[in-house]
Amino acid sequence: MTGASDVGRVLEEQQRNASALGQPARVPGIYRWTDCGYMAGWRMQLHYRRVDCRLLDPRGRVVFRGNEADCRHQLKLTAQREGLSLPTGRLIVILHGLARNAWTMLPVARYLQRNWPGTEVVVFQYASTSAPVVEHARRLIEFLQYAADCSELHFIGHSLGNIVVRRAFRLAEEGLWQMPPLGRFVMLGPPNQGAQIAVRLHGLVPLAWFNGAPFAQLGRDWTTFQTELAIPSCPFGIVAGNIPWLDRIHPLVHGRSDVIVSVEETRLSGAADFMEVSVPHTWLMNSRRVQAATLNFLKTGRFEPAGSAPRSSTAS
């Protein structure tokens, strides 16, 4: 099981080796690629224009390029040659946010890898700014076909990543995805009620263009778009950032917030637990308290261990 390997080391080596076979080493290059296949550390990635597909080894070296069908065949041959197997145990899939990348989720991925033995941790990379949320959800489902035999599937999302998972749950409700046994789902800074900051900034054309369709879906198109999202069919908990005094001076987000998403915008009916921390949106996954709470929720369904002192809304 690849869960025994250091997920942080693997992802960092993928970043360093991204220039292989002519691929750009610049961080912005990762916005162009979405994972569409996975096996024991080997990844298939599809270019956002769907004209190119590549196969990366566990060290992040591009070992094959071609069309999607050829890449899938190459991954199958590689599995036979290397004796690779699909995940059959406990699996955690982590999704990053809008205009971010898999490496931003390294802190929480590493923490879980170290502190929950026997668990495989995978960060799903997707070209977040390049397509509407439904396309990312479909690619996530395609990616998870390789996890169909896992014994327990957990999710962790940051920001837009949570919305992608909720869209995937709706596709499952529509019969387009047969889910494996589900564990729990931790939402970090989720814009579950849309994002007022996206509404207020939509008129800034360069920003709206850079952030793509999801920016509009979370903002001006939210009323329509929210009907496409499901309430997760597994226990889920929400972590909301709440920066003290920010509500008095923030011109773009009304009420308590983590700078980007308000506390009220994170809420979703049916949550098993809810926690506020004084951590900015961008760094929620870096907070050791958030990491520990995430692990405890995945294990027990509560952010704090039984018998612990009441949570402080300003804990970090």
- Write the CB contacts of 245 (distance below 8 Å, at least 6 apart in sequence): none
- Higher local confidence (pLDDT), 19 or 45: 45
Question: Among 85, 102, 118, which residue terminates a domain?
Answer: 85
- The count of domains in the chain is 2
Supply the CATH number for residue 212's domain. 3.40.50.1820
- For residue 166, pLDDT beyond 70: yes
Q: What is the pLDDT of residue 4?
A: 41
Question: Among 29, 51, 85, which residue terminates a domain?
Answer: 85
Give per-residue pLDDT as tens, 282-307. Answer: 999 999 999 999 999 999 999 998 76
pTM: 0.87
- Identify whether residues 50 and 189 lie together within a single domain: no
- Identify whether residues 101 and 69 lie together within a single domain: no
Instruction: Count Cβ atoms below 10 Å from residue 174 Cβ, excluding itself.
Output: 9
Q: Which domain holds residue 176?
A: 88-316
- For residue 314, pLDDT beyond 70: no
- For residue 6, pLDDT beyond 60: no
Q: What is the pLDDT of residue 283?
A: 96
Q: What is the pLDDT of residue 3?
A: 45
Measured distance CA(7)–CA(174) in Å, rounded = 33
- Identify whether residues 60 and 110 lie together within a single domain: no
* Of 42-56, 180-194, 229-243, minimum mean pLDDT range: 42-56
- Identify whether residues 44 and 115 lie together within a single domain: no
- Identify whether residues 78 and 149 lie together within a single domain: no
Measured distance CA(8)–CA(10) in Å, rounded = 5
Amino acid type, 150 = C
- Identify whether residues 186 and 260 lie together within a single domain: yes
- Identify whether residues 44 and 191 lie together within a single domain: no
**Does an H or E element contain 68, and which?**
helix 68-82
- Identify whether residues 56 and 95 lie together within a single domain: no
- Identify whether residues 67 and 94 lie together within a single domain: no
Mean pLDDT of the region 212-240: 95
- For residue 245, pLDDT beyond 90: no
Give per-residue pLDDT as tens, 53-103. Answer: 999 998 889 999 999 999 999 999 999 999 998 888 999 999 999 988 888
Q: What is the pLDDT of residue 63?
A: 94
Mean pLDDT for the chain?
87
Tokens 């997707």 belong to which residue? 126
Q: Classify the phi-psi angles of 272: left when phi > 0, otherwise alpha if psi is within -120 to 50, otherwise beta.
A: alpha
- Identify whether residues 145 and 266 lie together within a single domain: yes
Question: Among 50, 85, 120, which residue terminates a domain?
Answer: 85
- Identify whether residues 72 and 219 lie together within a single domain: no
Give per-residue pLDDT as tens, 112-132. Answer: 999 999 999 999 999 998 899
- Identify whether residues 103 and 28 lie together within a single domain: no
